[in-house]
Amino acid sequence: MTPPTLTFICELEGDALQALFTGGAVIAHLSALEAGVCLGLIDHSPERADIVRRLNQVGIPVVAWLLLPKDQGYWFNIDNAPQAAARYADFRDWTEEENLVWQSIAIDIEPDFEELQRLIRGQAKELLPIFLRRIFDAERALNGRLAYGALVRDMRTDGFMVESFQFPFIEDERQAGSTILQRLFGIVDIQTDREAFMLYSSFARPYGEAVLSSYAPAAGTVAVGITGGGVDFEGADPLSWQELARDLRLAYRWHEHIYIFSLEGCVEQEYLTRIGELDWEAPQVMPTAQIENINRLRVFLRGMLWGLSHPFMTLVTVVASFIVLRRIRRLLSSA
């Protein structure tokens, strides 16, 4: 069996990024794995450009992961489409000035950075008035989708392959014909050349492998993790080697290309050599019962999203069902 193509996601500030690639050991590991790097463009500095050129020179594919300043949301979302377009224009100029080569561009669709931090800190009540207003604002979601659709077209016109990172719940929203999650959290359902579901089992213990197994078949590809690094979130300890190996083998059931978050986490935990020695054909017991439970929860989620998207039809159905049940009870009692 041919091993999958791996791309390691890297999200480091300038000094830490330079330190990661000092000495050449990491580049040697990546070359041995024939792996790529998805580099978070936290800045457009000469130092970051130098890292890209070093990877270009040894034939390691590099994906440009576009990011915004944290006060602009950091990740791309409905409300920062103008800033995303401006960031892309800056990236394009920087790429030309520094003579950089990219395999593709990656758009990361996630809620606003500050809002997500507040939710994690248990401050959801403070955001409730905002969410209530958003749930009735379908135009906001439409405008975001149109703006990002135009941005993707510009990227393609400029000759780039465009990839996107999405929360897997977007698949349930699509099946329900809903935009509720997009309205609430500012995520955007856009069409790109390849879509990766962020299936980080470290956030879903002890059901991580079941969540991965449920959503992976519908994805263009998947990102597994986390192994450490990235934005600091409470309650998401890095994957152990056993967990990462499990997730990689599971992902390979459906996909020949896999993202791993993150490169710096794998280096810190000395996983790169072990990934190179991984037995991809090792037998693996599927958590069948847990997968069925996740699938049932997804059916409920899709039903709830559909109901919220069609409140009048839902109300009519509930009232009609109530009337029918009352008549059945009367018939049974008079029999």
pLDDT digit string (tens) for 79-95? 999 999 999 999 999 99
Q: What is the pLDDT of residue 123?
A: 75
pLDDT at 165: 98
| Integer angstrom CA distances of residue 225 from 126, 197, 247, 260 | 30, 12, 8, 6
Q: pTM for the full model?
A: 0.91
Please give the pLDDT value at position 320. 46
Sorting pLDDT into bands at 50, 70 and 90, what band is 316? very low
**How high is the pLDDT of residue 329?**
63
CA separation for the pair 161, 149 (Å, rounded): 14
Q: What is the distance between the alpha carbons of residues 97 and 91, in angstroms, rounded to a whole number?
A: 10
199-211 pLDDT, tens digit each: 999 989 999 999 9
The Cα 300–Cα 317 span in angstroms is 17
Show the tokens assigned to 4.
Answer: 């999958």
pLDDT score, position 285 = 87
Q: Give the per-residue pLDDT at 116.
A: 78
**Distance from CA of residue 249 to its chain's centroid?**
19
One-letter identity of residue 248: L
Give the pair of three-digit tokens for residue 287. 């958590």
Cα 144 to Cα 189: distance, rounded to the nearest angstrom = 9
Confidence class of residue 117 from pLDDT cuts 50, 70 and 90? confident
pLDDT tops 70 at residue 308: yes
